Amino acid sequence: MQVTALPNVAVSIDWSEINALEARHVNQVVTQIGNPTPDGLPDGILVGIGVVFPPIYQAANPEAAKKMAEQLQGTSLTATAHGRFHMSRGFLDALIKTLQTTADQYDSIVSQVEAAKAATSGQE
C-alpha cells in the first residue's frame, strides 16, 4: 500500500473553546527528552507545567522566623501539576518563538506605560 501525502492547504483555527478553560497560575516547569524510538532518535519533548506556593508560616519575632526558616531548609515541596504536554522538536521551536514574541510585546507595553507615567508625573 502506497501512502500519498496531501498537499499543504491553508485553514483557520477556531480557539473559542479556550474561554471555557480556567486560567491557572504557574511558576514551575520541568522538561524531558522523550524515550528513544526504535531508530534511536528521541520521541519528542515532554513539558510539565505546575505551581509551588511557599509554605504559610507566621512568626511572632525574628528569632521564631529564623527557627522556621531553619526547619524548612532542605525540605521538599510538591508541585501541583496543571499540565503535561508531548511535542515534536519542530513544535518546540514554534512555541519558543511564540513565547519570545509575547514576552517582547509585554516588555514593550510595560515600557510604554512606564514612560507615560513618568511623563505624567513630570508635568505635575
Give domain status of residue 1, yes or no: no
User: Which domain covers residue 76, as residue numbers?
Assistant: 24-87
Q: Which amino acid is at 57?
A: Y
pTM for this predicted structure = 0.77
Note whether 29 and 83 are same-domain residues: yes
Place of cell 515541596: 77
SS3 46: strand
Note whether 45 and 59 are same-domain residues: yes
**How would you write the pLDDT of the chain (124 residues) with one tens digit per residue?**
888 888 899 999 999 999 999 999 999 999 999 999 999 999 999 999 999 998 887 888 899 889 988 989 999 999 999 999 999 999 999 999 999 999 999 999 999 999 999 998 877 6
Give domain status of residue 4, yes or no: no
Q: Residue 30 — φ and ψ, nearest 5°?
A: -130, 135
Give domain status of residue 13, yes or no: no
SS3 24: coil
